[in-house]
Structure 1
């Protein structure tokens, strides 16, 4: 069977990502009061970054390396975006293009928005998918434009628009899914689960009182031109995500594409960072530990390692790494569910105790590019074995 065939039964495989990352004073993800999001866990207040914030950061990081046309966008302006393409590919004016775009999408049952080029809610779709829909319209645009509204509705009802939007998914739709409550046929089950990031220790909300000087202020005036406060905290975060390889393969329909998508997710999830107040805090860091575990039973979030908060006043990241390693080792020993594959990249090379604990749990540490390569090889071999 060909390597990219999906006819064989693919066993369940979950790729778990465990990340420890220390962030300096920052406000990565604000709440409705403008302060960093928090949660109580283990009886103490923790720093929290929502899963939505890190999923968007991951998607944004995709765009730094992958061609825009190979990715998705999330917008209300699907009618306007389709009209843009029709207008570009034909001699129709804007009003005619909008009319055809609205008619082509009407059979989907999208709820109309306040503006004629919008839907009532955000829709997540691939740019190439919408290009394919635009081609359906553009190929017969002059003929369609000449029809009255009733005739146009009947003709566009025959166009395979739903099929174009339900196949050929880009990796971000395949990973993060698409939920359209009133159109079940457009639903895409997400292959990735992303947890809210939590600090491994208790945190306190702090405030930065700032002033801004008016550079053109007359000499006889005193005081600041502006004053204000920004809430912030600093934390060592435990971040967790899991990708179901079987679901990803079902969404993409190609083994090579599925393996590549896992690699892109691993790279972007590890390297990305939410951008809240980034100019005020310059908070970008890289993780001190990234562990990847492939399991065939179920995803396993190891946040219970930090139910009892780390209380060190220094060395929090190292203590968190030891806690994480111990939790993983104990879970494997207790439940007897040995992972199919594990690999880790970390920065604790000068800390023998931490390094040994991590190695005992996840294997010898390797540079991050080698982690990605080892993961890719394991997944490729897994899918080849399933295809035989």
Structure 2
């Protein structure tokens, strides 16, 4: 079995007028690349969209949540399982969280930072005290803290990680033992071409206006742009195996990520723009050396006159082929699913030469699973 395996995911996706990911002024995020302004969607936005999509194929109980309110969630579980009063359950929960060394927040019951943990990990902590919750509730504050101090609370957060914690990692600055190294890196998506910020001036009419009343009941503007985005992410299978402790679970997590990363979409202003699209191209490359982002294919922006998505695909194919040849890298697996090539034989031919035969998305995922299992 190869010591290191990286699964690179390259996506081209065209998005109509939209505001997927706002900056501090409420406008779509942007970046300069190759000396030109590009549309940008932050990695955080697409990682969250990916995590939300996980729930479409996984029981939410098998996934994680990220919150400052772990103590209140823990108290709810203790109360439901033991039947004690909510205030007594909260006292026990606060003592349990304090025993881990997790810093308290300014608001009562909150932690100082968002904590990413599995729902079943929380259930395991509840199980530590559920049977003697009544006795614990009868103790004063000092005695309660002493009683829970020896319980393996921290250990429950260090094992049995759900797929999303194993993929995206966890950082707890003041308790390194609770850190989980992320197996996944997600790049900021940028447009393959120069993009301009535009504004939608909108008005809303008051339905109860009388006949002699004119004018709008509301006036506003929304910033938007449209773009063909290059999206990239990589998953380290070796790190996933370490985080999950199980080869099959690691392969399942890769499949879950590839499926949800490709199908998900940030929801910013979704009702205003109805911007959901599917990718025009998804390419998967398995490597044993290092992850390789192919964004340099677009350092020189694609001109709008050439048909942006088709030209973006041809450039991606050329960048991948050239990099593979010049660096002498031979990927362990290459697969592609795309809806291009019908426009010109040139596009389909270049994609075929670089990435192999076009597959359906389910076939692409199945081929990836097979090569990862066989290792």
| Length-normalised TM-score, structure 1 | 0.95
- Alpha-carbon deviations, 1:250-309, whole Å to 9, x = none? 001111110011000000000000000000000000000000000000000000000000
Identify the residue that residue 330 of structure 2 maps to in structure 1. 338
Give the drift of 1:183. Answer: 1.0
Distance (Å, rounded) in 2 between the aligned partners of 1:55 and 1:241: 10
Correspondence for 2:346: 353
**2:308 counterpart of 1:316:** yes
Partner Cα separation in structure 2 for residue 14 and residue 116 of structure 1: 43
Query: For 1:185 and 1:11, how far apart are their aligned partners in 2?
Result: 24
**Residue 307 in structure 1 maps to residue 307 in structure 2:** no
Q: What residue is the counterpart of 1:120 in the other structure?
A: 112
Q: Tell me the secondary structure at the aligned position of residue 125 of structure 1.
A: strand
Q: Distance in 2 between matches of 1:84 and 1:10?
A: 44
Match of 1:385 in 2: none
Q: Which residue of 1 aligns with 2:180?
A: 188
> What corresponds to 1:214 in structure 2?
206
Q: Tell whether 2:216 aligns with 1:233.
A: no
Q: Does 1:143 align with 2:126?
A: no
Aligned to 2:318: 326
1:76 equivalent in alignment to 2:68: yes
User: Which runs of no fewer than 5 residues in structure 2 stay unpaired?
Assistant: none
Determine which of 27, 32, 35 is the counterpart of 2:24.
32
Provide the C-alpha distance between the structure 1 equivalents of 2:335 and 2:39, rounded to a whole number of angstroms: 27
Alignment of 1:263-278 (within 5 A): 263-278=255-270
CA contact (8 A) 1:104 1:137 kept: no
Give how far 1:314 is off: 4.8
Contact 1:23-1:284 within 8 A present in 2 as well: yes
Alignment partner, residue 4 of structure 1? none
* Partners of 2:170 and 2:182 within 8 A in 1: yes
Report the Cα offset of residue 10 of structure 1. 5.3
- Rounded Cα–Cα distance in structure 1 between residues aligned with 2:2 and 2:348: 35
List per-residue Cα deviations over 1:215-248 (Å, max 9, x = no partner): 0112221100000000000000000000000000
1:363 aligns with 2:356: yes
Give, in whole Å, the separation in 2 of the partners of 1:64 and 1:218.
Answer: 47
User: Across the two proteins, how many residue pairs are aligned to each other?
Assistant: 374
Instruction: State the TM-score, normalized to the length of structure 2.
Output: 0.98
